[in-house]
Amino acid sequence: MINYSVVKAWDFGEIVQTYAARDTMLYALGIGLGADPLNAAELEFVFERKLQCVPTMAAVLGAPGAWLRDPRTGADYLKLVHGEQAVRVIKPLPPAATVVAQNRVESLTDKGAGKGAIVVVLRQLREQATGELLAECRHTLFLRGDGGFSTESGVSDPAPASLPTVPDRLPDIEVSLPTLERQALLYRLSGDYNPLHSDPAVAKAAGFSRPILHGLCTFGMAAHAILKATCEYRAARIKEIAARFTAPVYPGETIRFQLWQGAASEWHLRAIVADRDVVVLNNGLARCG
């Protein structure tokens, strides 16, 4: 069973990561930008001239790795799933930089015996050269096998605030983005080498017919859809984006992103794979400037 006091006090240390223009372009290619090599707007994410960084790249910088595998946490790692992801941009990511990440466990919530637990990790990314805060990321994990831990520890944090549901009406905008059969093999080069996304045998053992796309790839594609539909491909206009992961995508599928205009410059977001009639991202929210 997960150990509340150990997890809440987990020392991640400072994580320093240097990325180059090549990494910025590779991330953009991994989420499907550059699919039309004649599109001048998309080229600014995959070509070194006037290069822009997709804001959701913050989610893959300074990551602490599979820290919940450490037996000291007591977590049932095999029953862990990525529940939600959020990125708040304070200053646009440079196309190349050295960043310093500070991660901390913001909350650990017991949903009850048999109902799982929720861990929220907050990450702050600062540019090493200036010390300026670039972005904050919230990484929400659902531990299906760790519900009921508070009966032993006697403590549990309040549940994190829920993301807003999408409006009960037809979307204002829809954007369909295809994925490649090799999309997961390309996206993994941005740092997530989990064999679930590359090894057919591992995927089959996990209950999938074949390797699945990374959730953070689908999340990045949501930013791509927003850039295309509402921001004229200006990366600096995205100030915040968050979504809940509800089902996996198989490489080669087309994802339909549905957007609803909200208050001011807010957009509600949902993503579906129409061929399987499944929602893959839900309760999404983006704020644009």
> Do 131 and 186 belong together in one domain?
no
pTM > 0.85: yes or no: yes
Q: Which of 147, 215, 220, 284 is catalytic?
A: 215
User: What local confidence, expressed as pLDDT, does residue 153 receive?
Assistant: 82
For residue range 188-197, list pLDDT tens digits in order. 999 999 999 9
Question: Residue 93 falls within a domain, yes or no?
Answer: yes
Is residue 143 domain-shared with residue 204, that is, in the same domain?
A: no
Give a yes or no: residue 141 inside a domain. Answer: yes
Give me the count of residues in the chain. 289
In a domain, 165, yes or no: no
Higher pLDDT, 263 or 71: 71
C-alpha–C-alpha distance, residues 4 and 20, integer Å? 38
Active-site residue flag, 192:
yes
Looking at the structure, tell me whether residues 147 and 179 fall in a common domain: no
**CATH number for the domain that contains residue 133:** 3.10.129.10
Q: How do residues 20-77 score in pLDDT, each as one tens digit?
A: 999 999 999 999 999 999 999 999 999 999 999 999 999 999 999 999 999 999 999 8
Same domain, 11 and 142: yes
- Total number of domains in the chain: 2
215 classed as catalytic: yes
Where are the strands (E) in 25-153, listed by range?
80-89, 97-110, 117-127, 133-143
Active site residue 224: no
pLDDT value of position 239:
98
Write down the pLDDT at residue 41: 96
Question: 8 with 148, same domain?
Answer: yes
Give residue 152's pLDDT: 81
Catalytic residue, candidates 197, 214, 224, 268: 197
